[in-house]
Amino acid sequence: MMRPEYHFTPPQNFLNDPNGLVFYDDEYHQFYQHNPIGDVWGHMSWGHAVSRDLVHWEHLPVALYEEDGMMIFSGSAVVDWHNTSGFGNDNHPPLIAIYTGHSETEQTQNIAYTLDRGRTWIKYEGNPVLSIGAREFRDPKVFWHEPTQRWIMVTALPDQYQVRFDSSSDLKHWTHLSDFGPAGAIDGLWECPDLFQPQIENQTEQIKWVLKVDVLKGTGAQYFIGNFDGTRFINDATDDQILRVDYGNDFYAAQSWSDVPNERRIWIGWLNNWHYANLIPTSPWRGLLSIPRELHLRGYPEGLRLIQKPIEELKELRQSLYHVTDTDIATVNSQLAKLKMDISAEIQVEFTLGRARKFEINICTGDAEETVIGYDAQVQEIFLDRRHSGESAFSDKFAGVHRALLVSAEGKINLHIFVDSCSVEVFANDGLIVISDLIFPTLGNAGLRFYVLGGRVRLRTLKIWRLAGEA
């Protein structure tokens, strides 16, 4: 399998959750769950890479290794600007990694620090900094809460379907504040929480918090919108409401960067699924991350909703291939048949349905292969069908169709699609709905065509770029 052009992959071996995402001294740090000695899960450590634009990455040595029977599970990182930990000084703030130490009997929260921009790390000799005697207690997300002038740690209590909140003045000593949950989806273990304040589109005064939590072997990821007062999170909705982050099968363990300039909130997720994470047909690497996505809240009649948009920096990679406006499907298909497509591409399309019952975009087409992105007007659903997308025999959990309700505004739909060698990410109606899936098409199958059932569809805009990157 060809390595992706613009999605992050490790040089070799296994990757899963993104960890320790932090911006410092003009560098984005990206750590990730990593097996440094094999291409399946095991010997969990923190791999490491840095970037100045979130697009081009420099691979660095493994930051935190498994040691003395303790694996380094997921966590976060912060800049200790005021040197509350005492590891640095006011003129040279340390970076602090907060991670779960995993043994056969217990999961605990631990810290490590660096004074050389993340190039070398020292594990705190007083670890663990937080232990509750539990086997299921992990994935700390830590941030500085300005109103209360203290650090907040958000962790998952997976088998209790709860998120736990603790506070600290120095990152070393922690006090339990409250718990949230069960709520929303509880059809799988809760993992990888994140808590942040995204900007609300077209508003400057209202403040809301988003609490994201993943549901292992369940819905994938869900989020809650509410208020956090420095002690507890209060959900705005009823506890039975489920708001999904992504409607595909392969977006998990997303984490947002700390300390990003201009109050941007950007996150990235693991493009994979535990049903087949150890089996996907890639080598010498196994596992990749999504494109980075900028997050906002947007108001709708039913309330605020999380919006995900591809970061602007990805435009650096564009090489224009095709651009038409206000045309019909037959004309476009005729022109696309003559176009030399690249599997690593970005597609923007806006269309008006008219009376058509179904509209489809068939990508990565070839002999008996295609991935179908479509809209079914009869049930008002967007879908991604990967049943014939290429290699899938490695798991009976892989082939399938993933759907989401999407009500069109006056019959108009817009889709923003990112295709790489083994993935598709679809952003519908300006980021309201996202579907992310792996695919494994045969090398060279990069065709593109449109299909309409039961009426006419007018293409208002179609833009296609090749994305030439270095992930």
Question: Catalytic amino acids?
Answer: 17
**Rounded Cα–Cα distance for residues 82 and 72 (Å):** 26
CA distances from 116 to 38, 51, 66, 94, 428 (A): 29, 16, 21, 8, 42
Lookup: tokens for 130 = 């937080």
Contact 92, 102 (CB under 8 A): no
Cβ neighbours of residue 415 under 8 Å, at least 6 residues apart? 347, 348, 349, 350, 361, 373, 382, 426, 427, 428
Contact 112, 101 (CB under 8 A): no
Helix (H) or strand (E) holding 336: helix 329-336
**Rounded Cα–Cα distance for residues 370 and 419 (Å):** 13
DSSP 124: -
DSSP 67: B
Q: How many CA atoms lie within 13 A of 310 on its CB side?
A: 27
Where do we find the tokens 């976060």?
76
First to last CA, the chain: 15
**Rounded Cα–Cα distance for residues 167 and 179 (Å):** 12
